[in-house]
Amino acid sequence: MQELAHEYAQQLYLNPSEFVKMSGLWCLRLGHNVAKPNYQVGPKRIECYSLHFVVEGQLLLQYEDREAILHRGDICCFFPDESYTYRIYEPEKTLKLIWIAFQGPQAAPLLESLGLTQFNPILRGRCSREVWTKLYALLDYISDQPDGVQAIGFSLDLQEKLYAIFAVLMKEGKTHSDAEGSVPDIPWLKRSLDFMQLHYMEGISIKEVAEAAGVHRSYFSDIFKKMIGLAPNRYLYRLRMEKAAALILLGDRNITEVAYTVGYPSLYSFSRAYRNYYGYSPGSKP
């Protein structure tokens, strides 16, 4: 790895041939890093698609007017010409990332099949051992190549490894969300997610979410957990805690204001919830 201003990184660049560009997907660059405590990128825009995989630690992502904290096994996607900022969330802890930048007419449909869009660019807990194995195999394969990387044989092997990563991510997605369907296949579930994303800072209850979805509460909770992988109250809890942590990190408001902002009625109830989620009190971290 090369030492840079805010990270130790290995950057691998590819120059796809015309033969490769006749396919549906091609890799432009990829790499991995170990972040330094001052690690921050952006705001920036890129010209292609890029998947970032959190190998270790926590990453704070800011996009549009939203923020999220990514953990080990989470993935975020950067879309062409969209603005993103991301940084290390806990500077005293190690952050490691892998990224793959790619292009091609199949890129957008493949990402959509994983559930990734400009408005929802995050996958939670998708990286299994098989995903990590294939990612490092791809890194090693390109690292080991001498010069003639435009050879057709190399290109075919590279395409196979790239598609294999998408294939295993899709398989893991079925494990997370039930092989019989996905969120867009259930309109009321999509409505409930939209409602929660819009109003999670307003102290909404699961009863109100179920009513907005138009289904009975017990049925809503059962199907929501099967499809999303979390009970709806845990999903709301995660949304509030991630927003709270992002607000605290910005440092422009006190803890009481953060508590009220994310929908808690008192500092005490917020501090207890925050400590249960992160393992430390909201005032003890930057």
pLDDT at 181: 43
Q: Is 17 exposed, middle or buried (0-12, 13-18, 19+ CB in 10 A)?
A: middle
Contact between residue 27 and residue 15 where contact means Cβ atoms under 8 Å apart: no
Q: Which CATH superfamily is domain 2-177 in?
A: Jelly Rolls (2.60.120.10)
**Domain spans of the chain, in order of start:** 2-177, 183-284
Angle at 80 between CA 25 and CA 20, to 5 degrees: 20
Q: Note the pLDDT of residue 183.
A: 53
To the question of domain 183-284 being in CATH 1.10.10.60, the answer is: yes
Pair of tokens at residue 212 = 């907005």
Instruction: Indicate the residue type of 127.
Output: C
Common-topology check for domains 2-177 and 183-284: no
| pLDDT, position 147 | 55
Strand 96-103 and strand 49-56: pairing? antiparallel
CA angle 234, 40, 88 (to 5 degrees): 35
Q: What is the pLDDT along the chain (286 residues), one digit of tens a residue?
A: 899 999 999 999 988 888 888 889 999 999 999 999 999 998 989 999 999 999 999 999 988 778 888 999 999 999 998 889 999 998 999 999 999 999 999 999 899 888 888 878 998 888 888 999 999 999 998 887 755 456 788 888 888 999 999 999 988 766 544 433 445 468 888 889 889 988 988 889 999 999 998 989 998 998 888 888 788 999 999 888 888 888 887 777 889 999 999 989 899 999 999 988 888 888 775 4
Task: Tell me how far apart the alpha carbons of residues 33 and 95 are, in angstroms, rounded to a whole number.
Answer: 8
Residues 6+ apart with CB under 8 A from 126: 73, 74, 75, 114, 169, 172, 173, 176
pLDDT in tens, 121-157: 998 888 888 999 999 999 998 887 755 456 788 888 8
What's the pLDDT score for residue 174? 60
On whether the pTM is more than 0.75, the answer is no
**pLDDT score at 179:** 38
